[in-house]
Amino acid sequence: MQKTQTIFCKYFRRPLLIVAALLAMLVLAFGYMTSMPSQQAPDFLPTAQDNILAGSLEVHVRKLAGPRNEYHPEEYKAAGDYIAATLRSFKLQPTFQKFTSFAREEQNILVRISGIKKTKTIIVGAHYDSHGATPGADDNASGTAALLEIARLLSENPPENDVILAFYANEEPPHFQTETMGSVVHANSIKDVDLMISLEMLGFYSTEPNSQKYPAPLNFYYPDVADFVAVVGPLEDRGIVEDLTAHLRGADMKTFGFSTPKFMPAVGFSDHWSYWQRSIPAVMVTDTAFFRNPHYHRDTDTPETLDYPRMARITSAVASFL
């Protein structure tokens, strides 16, 4: 028995210690990526201001909802026309970045708002196309609606920094992460930008247990109730993720931050990815998309499924961050 124990210790102790050390390092690494400072916000209670802004957001989502892409060109054009007309109603002057995609002319819609201090230049963007024949209410009429209301808020109360609001064409397949993706076109055309914030699906929430899913092992670090918004960014931009997470929590919106290597699956699944390719700091604000929303890329992604008061809280908080 003594000899058996000696052999075991000789041949297996060191590998076991190595495995234990690696597991400990992984736990610490994920702890670092998921832990964000500042106190978590309380359970959401809509205010009168939230409810007013929620009404405007719902109007935008209902106007935009429906197939919006090159397979439905009339609806795609109508969505762009609505965005431009709404911006003009806020006394803003949109510009149009036109580009060719599959022998068609598409356009990004851009607005620049001068800041009071002009310390930084920040892009806030959202794609306005939808997937296939789906209504695309959460994906991504919700982000587009939020961006429209951010435009209104900033037109009434100028931000501290210079802000470029970008409404992107062609985020969805077959353009996703290719040269015909609207945000790739924009990222390739821009210089001297300090930060990009992507608004990607902001409307779906649930207070039911097990309504939120994650790729393992994130389920050990985050709650299973889909009542929060997430801020996602790369490790090198962890400070930005922390700052925006803290700001949203300070606005009493339950928020979780996640800072991770760029190769982690799904973390680059929106327009912020395009700016990573140009070494521009970029983060995503999201309801976590298919990790939560059962209507993702389905015909059931309709305006009735969205939580507009929570969308309103996020919208006003992002505007005040700028």
Question: Following DSSP, what letter does each residue of 266-283 receive, concatenated?
Answer: TTT-STHHHHHTTT--EE
Residue 43's Cβ-count burial label (10 Å; 0-12, 13-18, 19+) is: exposed
168 strand-pairing partners: 127
How many C-beta atoms lie closer than 10 Å to residue 69's C-beta? 25
Considering the entire predicted model, what is its pTM? Answer: 0.92
User: Which pLDDT belongs to residue 34?
Assistant: 76
Q: Any idea which residue has 């963007």 for tokens?
A: 125
For 21-140, strand residue ranges (E) read 95-101, 104-113, 121-127
CA–CA separation, 302 and 298 (whole Å): 9
The model's pLDDT over 200-210, given as tens digits with 9 standing for 90+, comes to 999 999 999 99
- Asked if 123 and 190 count as a contact pair (C-beta separation under 8 A), the reply is yes
Q: Any idea which residue has 């919106």 for tokens?
A: 253
Task: Supply 233's token pair.
Answer: 């960014």
User: Which pLDDT belongs to residue 22?
Assistant: 55
User: What's the average model confidence in pLDDT over 25-51?
Assistant: 81
Q: Lowest mean pLDDT of 26-35, 218-227, 301-310, name the range.
A: 26-35
DSSP conformation letters of 36-54: --SPPP-S----HHHHHHH
CB within 8 Å of 43: residues ≥ 6 apart: 227, 254
User: Is 70 exceeded by the pLDDT of residue 16?
Assistant: no
The model's pLDDT over 238-297, given as tens digits with 9 standing for 90+, comes to 999 999 999 999 999 999 999 999 988 889 999 999 999 999 999 999 999 999 999 999
How many C-beta atoms lie closer than 10 Å to residue 19's C-beta? 10
Average pLDDT of the chain to the nearest whole number: 92
Classify strands 95-101 and 255-260 as parallel, antiparallel or unpaired: unpaired
For 183-264, strand residue ranges (E) read 195-200, 229-234, 255-260
pLDDT category at 17 given cuts 50, 70, 90 is low
The DSSP symbol for 294 reads: T
The model's pLDDT over 182-239, given as tens digits with 9 standing for 90+, comes to 999 999 999 999 999 999 999 999 999 999 998 877 777 789 999 999 999 999 999 9
The DSSP symbol for 206 reads: -
The model's pLDDT over 141-173, given as tens digits with 9 standing for 90+, comes to 999 999 999 999 999 999 999 999 999 999 999
